[in-house]
Structure 1
Amino acid sequence: MAFDGIVVANLVHELKEQLLGGRIAKIAQPEADELLLTIKTPAGQRRLYLSASASLPLVYLTETNKTSPMTAPNFCMLLRKHIANGRIVEICQPKLERIIRFTIEHLDELGDLCRKDLVVEIMGKHSNIIFCTEEGAIIDSIKHVSAQMSSVREVLPGRPYFIPDTMEKEDPLSADFEVFSRALTAKPVPLAKAIYTSFTGVSPVTAEAVCSIAQVDSGLPASAFSEDVLRHVYNQFDIYFSGVREQKFSPAIYYEGKEPKEFSSLPLPQKGWERVEFDSISQVLETYYALKNTITRIRQKSTDLRHILQTALERNRKKYDLQMRQLKDTENRDKFKVYGELINTYGYNLEEGAKKLDALNYYNNEMVSIPLDSTKTAQENSQRYFEKYNKLKRTYEALSRLIQETREEITYLESIRTSLDIAMSEDDLGEIKEELISSGLMRRKYSKKKVKIKNTPLHFVSSDGYHMYVGKNNFQNDQLTFDFAVGNDWWFHAKQAPGSHVIVKTNGDELPDRTFEEAGRLAAYYSSMRGVEKVEIDYVEKKHVKKPKGGKPGFVVYYTNYSLVIDSDISGIQEIR
């Protein structure tokens, strides 16, 4: 994600406005690699969350409190000793590094005024929170890094603090065209990669954004462009970073449907995503990672269900392949019927012990040679071919039914898998689990406490004010289509693809074209065709949709319908929560 120097610059700007002059009232360490500082400012109390997690390093202002351990860790106790009740006098970012330095003024043991620095480094697995003297000596850090762990820098008490410059990158805020051109042409790599590997604090997302704004191919090396084109790219690069120099930030999250795809402090090319702006970068970070964590957690919790589904799918697909091979073996059944008929017609003058019969096939007027069992009479040979025909015919009929059942089972299992992809809450997973139990794919675990699942379909409103409902699983699809919808409501579904039933309530009106399009987009998005540019959607009035006798949950039939082809972009469609 684009947690780069630009986002940090936005954070520093925001923290300066909110925290400068504030006093540190509380210091807590909820986890081994994170701090929560409560700061009293003239505008009120603020909480600052600092995380040096290797997987998710973060800094933002929050209103959420976290439970701390009964016994404070050593690093937390050290900070309380030195900077409790200290005043934040400076917050800065060296160049455009992913580093925030808090300078805190406090009284030492002798009552003298002195300063300490709390440095937060947001650098992936190398992230750290380091406590230093004003002169730059490390007092302690939330993570100790010895010489055995890093050959670049030790982070231990007593060692000098410095920012390792291993990449020798340029400062994007002060680089002129000569620096820009020299840095890019020196690297025989794609232009976007040359940008983010040459300049401090620039992420791949930002580099791609600059190339997109300049309308150049980011996959070509800088040497492939003329000086005029490179100057044009530099101008766009300089204009883009003027937002950082002038501190004109516009924090936002980019959504694809309901899923957050990216965040930024400066505008990014849309890519078809919906841009939602926020008042502060802290709100962006807290919202974005909360949603990402929810999606990740739900996907982790659905692992067992996915494993059960995948096993069942693989078993049914193997069964289907075997049945199709067996069906192929019955293709010659009609030939044996013809052989039997021809032997009955022409076999009256066969010589005893004949091994074949050459006869005219009166179905196609071609000569055919029929193998015979020389130990049997013509009548017995004819009977043998009729028996073989009848056996293959019975096999064909039985296999045709079995193949249809297996195909329906595969389609059904794929629909449950699509429901898992749509699931956004534990209640969603609970309903899918109930469906797996009712279909015999899972056993119910005995529990004294009966869990009640309160879950409702997704609810949207079209641009023209019509209410649209989307089933999140097969149970909800059936309930929407056959219990909730009435005859003149419209029903939408992705053609020949697992997905949700979409119901549009008409209230007896004739729907506008725009509502049809938006309902079609919902049907495309909440299906296995999500992300495809052109999805064919079937739509029909609900009264024409029928539930076949014995049909599986979510399975319907209809014999007359309309179709439309549309994309699966649902940005801009209002959801009612």
Structure 2
Amino acid sequence: MAFDGVTIACVISELKKELIGGRLYKIAQPENDELLLTIKQPTGQKRLLLSASASLPLIYLTETNKPSPMAAPNFCMLLRKHLQNGRIVNISQPGLERIVHIDIEHLDEMGDLRHKTLVMELMGKHSNLIFCNDDNTIIDSIKHVSSAVSSVREVLPGRPYFIAHTQDKLDALTCDENTFREMLAAKPQPVFKAVYGSFTGISPVLAQELCHEAGLDGERPTAALTPTDYHTLYGIFSKMVTSIREEAFSPCIAYTGTRPVEYAAVPLTMYGSGADHLESYTSMSALLEHFYAEKNTLTRIRQKSSDLRRIVQTALERDIKKYDLQLAQMKDTEKREKYRIYGELLNTYGYSAKPGDRSLTAVNYYTNEPVTIPLDPTLSATENAKKYFDKYGKLKRTYEALSELTCQVKEEIDHLETISTALDIALKEEDLVEIKEELTQSGYIRRKGGTKKAKITSRPFHYLSSDGFHIYVGKNNFQNDELTFKFATGNDWWFHAKGIPGSHVVVKTEGKELPDRTFEEAGRLAAYYSKGREQEKVEIDYVQKKQVKKPAGAKPGFVVYYTNYSLMIDSDISGIEKLSD
């Protein structure tokens, strides 16, 4: 799923139509590596998202606003100083590089007209937003790159800006047929690899598509291509280049079943049969926002939850290590009953032991079987019996203490695993606030002096079943308790993944009988919002809420029930209507 040069060419084609001539009305930096520009046009306001995220760099038009920090970061303040109310005069792409140039003219402090360029480089972990003067001198960048980080190019204020050429690739827009053939023939590898490895802006999926349209197996080695094959492949390649030059794009997402697997700015005909299908879009921005919305949200929330995850993971590793050690010690205490029996048998049959004997064979009157008891030859039978009773007493006390400790540690492990699952399903910052509060109340995070309890604004997921029943899903243990014991009534139905951490799912019945389809949909939600969501099938327990009890002193989210129904279900919730989260 490559954000390649052709995709960027398609985005730029849209941006030129929508933004050129517009004025920069607002400049915001909602994330450390992200800008949100609001541009005023006669037709209304447009928002442009530019994300230089190392894991998910993106640029597209969006209608969604994002909250910004109370104090704007330095880079944002610099852009506001220079570009506020500036006019966008051009948007361009050098060749098919994954680079966007946004040229802006503005008036300086003296009222003179100046030109600046905001450069966006969408290059994976090297992605950046660079603000340049009209002489290509870097004014500043959202990420500073010193010589200690990169020997190829420094990205620092005052340094000259240039495109770093680190790969020996040609510009597809200027390639003729002879050059095309020479580049591919020089690479003894599969055809599709030779194509994307030879030309800037071509992704592996686009290379596979070119081979497919040319009727060639992409895995076929270049050495096996005939002159006719080269000519046919170049014809398809040239046709794609012409569509890029003419800005004749056809954005689409390829699906396998209900799962989106690839996207491109040109039709992906290799996904047009069987369970595979294409969904066309009139706007690449709309496609990107749809395709990456969930992934971008998850990427951001994982970054923001990294500290909490580290706390949970550290505590989990410590408790698991402690639990394994306690189980090993518990196994050692299994010998305690043997020592008690040895002591009793020595008290009963010890008279037959002679001084200096190293063992005594006697009949175990509990099993009527002979048993050989090791003896210390320096001690009498009575003293040996006392020694065994002492060992028994010590192991018994150890067993009793460990029985309680292992239960406590196991409860802590189960509790931490539920918090870990809650972190996995969190989608917003406010979801993390409640999880952090739970960790604080549980003693994993120390509350700073004078710090007030965080305001909770997160709410459970809310779904509507196909039959019109409202279904609620807790995002964390606090919400699970509130859903089950404050929100749900006695005849509402309660669902939970069996034996694994997961959300409480409540179906409001409003006094009606639930149809089978609603039971299945609620079961799917319980499976999806559990630790078993990646499994093919998950076992779900369900019961009326009045059967669910909370033991005294139990940790948040923990309940018991003594009678229930069960179902095996998958975790596909794509057909269930989501109302809010």
Q: TM-score, normalised by structure 1?
A: 0.73
Unaligned runs of 5+ in 1: 107-115, 133-137
Q: SS in structure 1 opposite 2:170? A: coil
Which of 450, 465, 470 is the matching residue for 1:467? 470
Q: Which residue of 2 aligns with 1:122?
A: 121
Match of 1:557 in 2: 560
Residue 500 of structure 1: how far off its partner (Å)? 1.0
1:204: Cα distance to partner?
Answer: 4.7
State the distance in 2 between where 1:442 and 1:273 align.
48
Tell me if the contact between 1:46 and 1:61 (Cα under 8 Å) persists in the aligned partners.
yes
CA distance in 1, matches of 2:533, 2:235: 37
Q: Could you tell me which amino acid in structure 1 is paired with residue 544 of structure 2?
A: E
Alpha-carbon distance change, 386 to 155 in structure 1, aligned in 2, over 3 angstroms: closer
Shift of 1:357: 0.9
1:151-175 Cα offsets, whole Å, 9 max, x none, are 7999999x99999695233628988
Sort the Cα spacing of 1:378 and 1:130 in 2 relative to 1 into closer, same or farther, 3 A. closer
2:202 equivalent to 1:199: no
- The equivalent residue for 1:247 is 248
Q: In structure 1, what is the Cα distance between the partners aligned to 2:119 and 2:553?
A: 62
**1:556 alignment partner AA:** V
Amino acid at match of 1:11: V
Residues 85 and 393 (structure 1), Cα distance of their counterparts in 2 relative to 1, 3 Å cut: closer
Q: How does 1:3-22 map to 2 (within 5 A)?
A: 3-19=3-19
Tell me the distance in 2 between the aligned counterparts of 1:40 and 1:451: 37
**Where does residue 433 of structure 1 map in the other structure?**
436
Q: 1:346 to 1:14 in 2, by over 3 A?
A: same
Q: Aligned equivalents of 1:232 and 1:288: distance in 2?
A: 32
Q: In the TM superposition, what are the counterparts of 1:380-529 in structure 2 within 5 Å?
A: 380-447=383-450, 451-529=454-532
1:23 aligned residue (17, 21, 24): 21
Deviations 1:431-454 (A, max 9, x none): 222222332333333337664323
Superposition deviation, residue 330 in structure 1: 1.2
The code of the aligned residue for 2:248 comes to Q
State the one-letter code of the partner of 1:201. Answer: G
Query: Cα–Cα, structure 1 residues 519 and 281, in superposed 2: closer, same or farther, change >3 Å?
Result: same
Task: Read off the aligned partner of 2:328 and give its amino acid letter.
Answer: R
Q: 1:501 to 1:278 in 2, by over 3 A?
A: farther
Partner of 1:570: 573
Superposed CA deviations along residues 469-502 of structure 1, whole A, max 9, x for unmatched, are: 1111111111112222233332222222212111
Shift of 1:385: 2.6
Residue correspondence of structure 1 range 182-193 to structure 2 within 5 A: 186-187=186-187, 193=193
Q: Is the 8 A contact 1:16 1:91 kept in 2?
A: yes
Q: 200-209 vs 563-572, which deviates more?
A: 200-209
Cα deviation, residue 555, structure 1 = 1.0
Secondary structure in 2 matching 1:536? strand
Using the alignment, how far apart are the partners of 2:105 and 2:340 within structure 1? 100
Q: What is the TM-score when the length of structure 2 is the normalising length? A: 0.73
Q: Is the 8 A contact 2:253 2:261 kept in 1?
A: no
Deviation of 1:551 after TM superposition, in Å, equals 1.5
After TM superposition, the structure 1 stretch with the greater mean CA deviation from structure 2, 67-76 or 552-561, is 67-76
Q: What is the rounded CA distance, in whole Å, between the counterparts of 1:215 and 1:365 in structure 2?
A: 83
RMSD: 5.6
Contact 2:185/2:223 (<8 A) preserved: no
1:547 and 1:557 in contact (8 A); partners too: yes
CA shift in 2, pair 1:416/1:92, >3 Å: closer
Amino-acid identity (%) = 52
Is residue 340 of structure 1 aligned with residue 339 of structure 2? Answer: no
Query: Cα offset for 1:554?
Result: 0.9
Decide which moves more: 279-288 or 335-344. 279-288
Q: Distance in 2 between matches of 1:398 and 1:72?
A: 61
The alpha-carbon deviation at position 142 of structure 1 amounts to 5.2
1:12 maps to a residue whose letter is I
Aligned twin of 1:112 = none
Name the CA shift for 1:265/1:576 in 2 (closer, same or farther; >3 Å): farther
The worse-fitting range, judged by mean Cα deviation, of 317-326 and 280-289 is: 280-289
Which deviations, in whole Å up to 9, do the C-alpha atoms of 1:16-46 show, x marking residues without a partner?
4334xx5355598878999998877664565
CA distance in 2 between partners of 1:160 and 1:455 (Å)? 44
Letter in 2 for 1:477: N
**Alpha-carbon distance in 2 for matches of 1:355, 1:574:** 77
Matched residues in 2 for 1:476 and 1:370: separation? 59
The answer to whether the 8 A contact 1:52-1:129 is kept is no
CA offsets 1:498-518 (integer angstroms, 9 cap, x no match): 121111223344434433333
Give a deviation string over 1:523-550, Cα, whole Å, max 9, x none.
2222223333333333333233222232
2:51–2:57 CA contact under 8 A, matched in 1: yes
Shift of 1:563: 3.2
Q: Which amino acid aligns with 2:121?
A: I
CA distance in 2 between partners of 1:34 and 1:348 (Å): 88
Alignment size in residue pairs: 554
- Residues of 2 paired with 1:564 and 1:420: CA distance? 26
Shifted more, 404-413 versus 5-14: the winner is 5-14
Give the C-alpha shift of residue 190 in structure 1.
Answer: 6.7
**In structure 2, what is the Cα distance between the partners aligned to 1:534 and 1:215?**
39
* CA distance in 2: counterparts of 1:215 and 1:376, whole angstroms: 92
Q: Give the corresponding residue for 1:325.
A: 328
8 Å CA contact 1:153, 1:164 repeated in 2: no
| Contact residue 416 and residue 473 of structure 1 kept, 8 A | yes
Tell me the secondary structure at the aligned position of residue 576 of structure 1: strand
User: Against the structure 1 CA distance between its residues 559 and 238, is the aligned structure 2 distance closer, same or farther, given a 3 Å change threshold?
Assistant: farther
The CA deviation string for residues 72-117 of structure 1, in whole angstroms up to 9 with x for no partner, is 969986x89xx9778x5x76656543345679999xxxxxxxxx99
> CA deviation digits over 1:387-416, x for unaligned, max 9?
433432332233223212211111111111
The match for 2:170 is 169
